[in-house]
Structure 1
Amino acid sequence: MEIGFGIWYTAALLLIMSILLFMEVLEIEVVIFSTLLLLITGKVITLKEAFVGFSNEGMLTIALMYVVVGAFSNTGMLNQVTHVIFGKKNTGDSRKLLRLLFPVSFVSAFINNTPVVAMFIPVIRSWAEKHHYASSKYLIPLSYAAILGGTCTLIGTSTNLIVHGLMIDSGMKGISFFEISKVGVPLALLGILFISLLGHRLLPNRKDPLVELGEHTREFVIELKVTPEYENIGKTIESAGLRHLQGLFLFQIERRGQIIAPAEPNERILLGDRLFFTGIPKMILELQKLPGLQLIQDSHFDLKQYDSAVINTFEAVVSPGSPLVGKTVRESDFRAKYEAVIIAIHRHGERIQKKIGDISLWPGDTLLLLAGKNFRKRWYHSNDFYLIAEAETLPSKPQWRGYLSLGVFFLTILLTILEVLPLLSAAGLGVIILMATRTVRMAEARKAIDWRALIIIAMSLGVAAAIKESGLAELLASGIAGIGCHFGVIGVLTSIYIMTSFYTLFITNNAAAAMLFPIAISSASTIHADTRAFAFVVLFAASASFATPISYQTNLMVYGPGGYRFKDYLKIGVPLQCLIGIITMVLVYYFYF
């Protein structure tokens, strides 16, 4: 094969791109976009080919699934089962990972791994933030478990379906539903054990920034009443999990008119107790949504089930000339006048120890409020408040919207599994239902989509097209397959696996499978080996891609939320990829040769 300018030029750009990504000199999307522009300039690909990824069905499906899954996760329903998934707080990382990764892997065997990962990302981040854990210890394992689960059945991942179609096009029998399970299930089991017991130690310990309470922290005070629905009645503060809350501190209990302060860890929580917490706004909002802890009876909206698309969180500072000054919250009739509910109050340099309704308001007091979206517009120019600003909002939905979003999610998956609709159409239908019922608003839909991940995926498809169009793919693959011929069937199998794995480091697994499939089949025919075995080697090598963030879409999805760097994937991904490669070779050789 003649090596022309296009091959040399593409190879040089690919090498430079890889070095820049590894060194993290520039943002990943800037590097890939610059590479695309240079490929267009060198006339390796056309402008249309470079950006064909933006109309790719897989990328559009991912965007729609972000909205579908985002609607479900925003209701907070998943957060209610985190204690079942992760177990007790004092268990080790290995046990927590085992409890998380096995269910994720099982679900991914029957559902495309993209929505599975999208569903669990916000749950893991919220759980890690609440308990002061590093989400970076869990998000890459989440992606890897979904990838491993996808190798267990025909519908586990789109790569399996692509190879299935290519086999049929080549005159071979397609893959039956559980045919690859005899290799995929052992891979998933051993891969998860490696990640849970050893691999997680190679991951960084990066915690999401959360304000620690201290002398310089702007603390708000909230008062909550214990009702019969609270599950920890009769337990001590320590055993109820209220002692070491991140960003919150239980400093006082009022019981039948008597003040218990400080609230000791062994103090029991009784029905009717009023609990006084001090903390930061985000954690206060999350705390007041706990079942059985009642803030206040309110006529405007249910504080446990308000819709965060309609009701916002605000911070309002009481001005010196405000009619609120000198009045208690109860006397001011705050809810009726302002159509807002005071969640908590901050007074600089003082920890307020009265009931919210009995607190006399002073100039400079900062009120944490729940109110309609037009609250700031209505009162911004009023003398009642010195300053009004939107605070951090905790996603919230009424319970019935939670059940609806859950139903839409399973409807989307069911329509796909039963082949009633392709995933893109099913996800589109789901989004239409959610938007029509106003379970998801347009602003929420835009916010739910990880635009950065989608852009990187789309541009990566452009780079894959250049590798194929330039002839570089054919040259490299045929060369490595030729070297493997000197070592018999296991040598050729290993060469195909290595080449496919190499491709998935820098281009999509689907593109790698499509480009390597014909080479694998012709290599098998040359040495008179079982072509089916070679097809499966391509399938597993393309699917089991762990070593870079751009090699698999779920790796990209956790890249930003986990605060990862390119080298973090190499540290855990390379050993895992080598382990999975060795196991695959052993199992394929055992079952087919």
Structure 2
Amino acid sequence: MNFEIVYVLICLAAMVVALIYDRMRPGMILFSVVILFFCAGILTPKEVLEGFSNKGMITVALLFLVSEGIRKSGVLERLIFAMLPQKKSTVAGANLRVLPVIAFISAFLNNTPVVVIFAPIIKNWARRMKLPPAKFLIPLSYATILGGICTLIGTSTNLVVDGMIQDAGFKGFSIFELGQVGVIIAIAGIIYLVCFAKRLLPDRTLKDDDIEESSDSGDVVRVEAVLGARFPGNGKTLREFDFHRHYGATVKSLHRNGERLQGDWMNVRLSENDTLILDADGTFIPTWGDSRVFLMLSVLDAEPEMGKKK
């Protein structure tokens, strides 16, 4: 094998290892490999920059802006509040009401903001209804995926592939062309989720003492934080890792696999997917909400503030 083949194989292997260990943002890892190829002369400057001119890529970037504007407007929060039953409901009945709406919204918006908006609202609603949140959150995730396959702009993958098809000289997809197959799949998937979510998903609920008022001060909120692979305290105990010094919040309890740890939980070594219940101020989620340190942040027993009319 010549130098170029060996060099490419080594770089690709290193890229896969870096993605597995998840110590850097995936975009930074991929871009670093492109730069290495460019420095070795394997890629020309034209080839390096060519991907940024892909029509699908540009459309994805613009859709992120549109999605963020809609997310901050408060429109989707009002919609989901109107759809969720306010009286006692069954798991199947609630999913039947919200999943088709979520799939429809996801067909026209990026999946990520849809999940970010709806997950904490649905979780708090399920707690008030004394229903297991897991029976709604996992169907929520799948409903966004199912909705995304129904239109050209439903997912970034559709747009990027459409751009590649056009660059190759073929006619691209129309916006609803994928729906000829996607809608059928989405309907079948939602029916499956409605019928089997209660039977297959775990019965996990938050303890009442995790959602009590954390302080007499109105500036303190109770936050649920799920640790990610990049959390610097992984492998350490809360006695070893000063969470308050790093993040300005106080840890009130530790959950693992849906169960609250009892006893001397401050000496338990933290790991990815552990859940911490925190007392934090109002700046905690805006500061760390977009960080990869936490997989998810949500305020317990609180409804999001609605945005003003734009």
- Tell me how far apart the structure 1 counterparts of residues 190 and 56 of structure 2 sit (CA, whole Å): 27
Alpha-carbon distance between aligned partners in 1 of 2:50 and 2:6, rounded to the nearest angstrom? 21
Tell me if 1:410 matches 2:16. Answer: no
Structure 2 match to 1:568: 177
TM superposition shift of 1:486: 7.2
SS at match of 1:482: coil
Question: How has the CA–CA distance of structure 1 residues 546 and 486 changed in structure 2, closer, same or farther, with 3 Å as cutoff?
Answer: farther
Inter-CA distance 407–463: structure 2 relative to 1 (3 Å threshold): same
Q: Which runs of 4+ in 1 moved over 3 A?
A: none
Structure 1 distance, partners of 2:109, 2:100, is 14
Aligned to 1:461, which of 64, 71, 95?
64
In 2, the alpha carbon distance for the partners of 1:556 and 1:497 equals 24
Gaps of 5+ in 1: 1-397
Q: Which residue of 1 aligns with 2:46?
A: 443
Distance in 2 (CA, whole Å) between partners of 1:413 and 1:454 is 23
Partner residue, 1:508: 110
Residue pairs, 1:545-584, within 5 angstroms: 545-562=148-165, 563-584=172-193
The residue number in structure 1 matching 2:27 is: 424
Shift, 1:528, TM fit: 0.8
What is the CA–CA distance in structure 1 between the aligned matches of 2:32 and 2:150, rounded to whole Å? 35
Instruction: State how far apart, in whole Å, the 1-side matches of 2:55 and 2:28 are.
Output: 23
Q: Using the TM superposition, give the Cα deviation of residue 405 of structure 1 relative to its aligned residue in structure 2, in angstroms.
A: 2.7
Q: What amino acid maps onto 1:565 in structure 2?
A: S
The question of 1:530 aligning with 2:132 is answered yes
Higher Cα Rg, which structure? 1
AA in 2 matched with 1:455: I
List per-residue Cα deviations over 1:80-116 (Å, max 9, x = no partner): xxxxxxxxxxxxxxxxxxxxxxxxxxxxxxxxxxxxx
Residues 497 and 541 in structure 1, CA contact (< 8 A), matched pair in contact too: yes
CA shift, 1:535, in A, is: 1.7
1:335-354 to 2 correspondences below 5 Å: none
Counterpart AA for 2:144: A
Q: Find the aligned partners of 2:26 and 2:90 in 1 and give their Cα distance.
A: 41
Structure 1 segment 176-215 matched on structure 2, within 5 A: none
Q: Is the 8 A contact 2:152 2:176 kept in 1?
A: no
TM superposition shift of 1:509: 0.4
1:67-86 equivalences in 2 (<5 Å): none
Distance, in Å, in 2 between the alignment partners of 1:405 and 1:496 is: 47
In structure 2, the CA distance between the partners of 1:496 and 1:400, relative to structure 1 (3 Å rule), is farther
Residue in structure 2 matched with residue 589 of structure 1 by the alignment: 198
| Displacement of 1:406 | 3.8
1:508 is displaced (CA, Å) by 0.7
The answer to whether the 8 A contact 2:54-2:164 is kept is: no
Greater alpha carbon shift after TM alignment, 490-499 vs 513-522: 490-499
What is the aligned-residue RMSD (CA, Å)? 2.3
Q: Give the alignment's TM-score, normalised by structure 2.
A: 0.57
User: Kindly, what percent of the aligned residue pairs are identical?
Assistant: 17
Q: Output the amino acid matched with 2:21.
A: L
In the other structure, the counterpart of 1:490 is 92
From the superposition, tell whether residues 417 and 498 of structure 1 become closer, same or farther in structure 2 (CA, over 3 Å). Answer: same
Q: Is 1:518 aligned to residue 127 of structure 2?
A: no
Amino acid aligned to 2:103: S
What's the CA shift for 1:466? 2.3
SS at match of 2:107: helix
Write out aligned runs for 1:310-349 (5 A): none
TM-superposed CA distance for 1:488, in Å, is: 2.5
Could you tell me which amino acid in structure 2 is paired with residue 533 of structure 1? K
1:214-253 aligned at under 5 Å gives the runs none
Query: Matches of 1:572 and 1:444 in 2, distance apart?
Result: 34
Question: Is the 1:412–1:423 Cα contact (8 Å) retained in structure 2?
Answer: no
Distance 2:95 2:8 in 1: 45
2: distance between equivalents of 1:498 and 1:535? 14
Counterpart of 2:82 in structure 1 is 479
Query: Shift in Å at residue 571 of structure 1?
Result: 0.8
Distance 1:445 1:503 in 2: 35
- Give how far 1:543 is off: 2.9
User: Aligned pair in 2 of structure 1 residues 499, 519: CA closer, same or farther (>3 Å)?
Assistant: farther
Please say if residues 413 and 423 of structure 1, whose CA atoms lie closer than 8 Å, have aligned partners that are also in contact. no
| Preserved CA contact (<8 Å) 1:401 1:439 | yes
